Amino acid sequence: MIPSSIIRPITGATPPEAREARARLAGVEDSAGKGRIRLDNEAAILLAAERIFARYGFRGATMAMIADEARLPKPNIHYYFGNKHRLYLTVLDRILGDWLSPLDYFHPAACPRAVIERYVRAKMAFTFARPAASKLFASEILAGAPLALPLLATTLRQLVESKAAVIDGWITQGKLRRLDSTHLFFSIWAMTQTYADFDAQIAAVMGGAPMDQPERERATAHVVSAVFRICGLDEAETPA
């Protein structure tokens, strides 16, 4: 006969240790769920703020407008970002980070042609996907960068100096024609961001409608070709 002390009871009860494990797992899942919700809400707020700040400027925009654009309660905006000034700086920092991340591929051992083309195409794609970002940044600069200047004078300046040095190295090796590497960046920014900052002008000249995908591809190929010519790269190899 089997001793009753080792017979597992067949009931619907869950052992205490199993209940604790399930509770811990539920807590982790709940935390992960809340984390995802927070990330989703922050992303929605940042995109909404990008559009509202681009449309009305820092002074004209309100947290209520941003909340309406994001389709979230106004207290949520304050909960995640505190105040309008902090939200504005976060939006600018995010735009700058998205613009500059393709420059990670600029290093001495890289193929100049490949990374320059990759950068130009990334800038054009970003311009078409998020024109409000470019317009917001342009508005801030045209106003004298009253809020963004510390960001421009540190993060942007340091990265441009670093990547300009890489380009200078390629020039020394004869991989690019002699040019001003810092001003090359200014030229690329001007050529790519104009398709957002002056989209109304471009649409008017081209017939009044926003650019469709074939026109965007045509514009991108043109800018890539122009940058290649500036750099002394073989235009014949430029993708159509």
Query: What are the residue ranges spanned by the domains of the chain?
Result: 17-82, 93-237
Given a contact cutoff of 8 angstroms between Cβ atoms, the answer to whether 166 and 106 are in contact is yes
Q: Report the distance separating Cα 228 and Cα 116, nearest Å.
A: 8
Helices 213-231 and 112-129: crossing angle in degrees, nearest 10, is: 140
Give me the pLDDT at residue 35, please: 84
List the Cα angle 44/46/51 in 5-degree steps.
Answer: 100
Given a contact cutoff of 8 angstroms between Cβ atoms, the answer to whether 234 and 228 are in contact is yes
In Å, what is the CA distance from 190 to each residue of 25, 29, 123, 152, 196?
A: 52, 46, 11, 16, 10
Q: What is the pLDDT of residues 62-120, one digit of tens each?
A: 999 999 999 999 999 999 999 999 999 999 999 999 999 999 999 999 999 999 999 99
Give me the pLDDT at residue 238, please: 43
Given a contact cutoff of 8 angstroms between Cβ atoms, the answer to whether 168 and 214 are in contact is no
List the Cα angle 226/191/166 in 5-degree steps.
Answer: 70
Give me the pLDDT at residue 208, please: 86
What are phi and psi for residue 207, nearest 5 degrees?
A: 120, -5
Q: Report the distance separating Cα 115 and Cα 237, nearest Å.
A: 15
Pick the CATH number of 93-237 from 1.10.10.1100, 3.30.300.30, 3.10.20.30, 1.10.357.10: 1.10.357.10
Give me the pLDDT at residue 234, please: 77
17-82 falls under which CATH superfamily? Homeodomain-like (1.10.10.60)
- Enter the pTM of the model: 0.81
pLDDT averaged per 10 residues, the chain (length 240): 40 50 50 79 97 97 98 96 97 95 96 98 98 97 95 96 98 98 98 97 93 97 98 64
Domains 17-82 and 93-237 in one fold: no
